[in-house]
Amino acid sequence: MARDKTIPRPTQAETAILQVLWQRGPSTVRDIHEVLNGERTMGYTTVLKLLQIMYDKGLVRRDESRRSHLYQAVSSQRRTQQQLVTDLLDRAFGGSMRNLVMHALSSRKTSRADLAEIRGLLDELEEKQR
């Protein structure tokens, strides 16, 4: 199966599985199921089926050298997040970074620490553009 350079957009359930793989590294279906079952009710066979779909989509790779297959995220969390944000920016905000940021900042309470970090990032970006 030829893999495209762009990452397929994972569903909400697939994103939950990717979160586990990014945190734990290569994991078995049972490992993933145990972590997810602490957060939500998801059956073992559902996790297995989702991993099979994710493998077909190119979101995970599978090591079949052991009896219990190990699954691993193909792309890093950072790269996946960047692609999802770019997709959201284009689809929901018409490519307007300003509208995305304004909406994100106004949709939830932002801590002083987060605001300070955002200000620092903006200062860095302005400095780079000079």
- The predicted pLDDT at position 1 comes to 38
Write down the mean pLDDT value for the chain: 91
- Residue range 3-28, pLDDT digits in tens: 446 678 899 999 999 999 999 999 99
- Residue range 25-39, pLDDT digits in tens: 999 999 999 999 877
- Closest by alpha carbon to 104, among 64, 114, 59, 116? 114
Contacts of 114 (CB under 8 A, 6+ apart): none
Buried b (16+ CB within 10 A) or exposed e, 23-58: eeeebbbebbbebbeeeeebeeeebbebbeebbebb
- Residue range 35-61, pLDDT digits in tens: 998 777 789 999 999 999 999 999 999
pTM of the model: 0.79
- Closest by alpha carbon to 47, among 22, 77, 83, 71? 71
Q: What confidence tier does 117 reach under pLDDT thresholds 50, 70, 90?
A: very high
Is pLDDT at 99 greater than 80 in this prediction? yes
C-beta of residue 46 within 8 angstroms of C-beta of residue 86: no
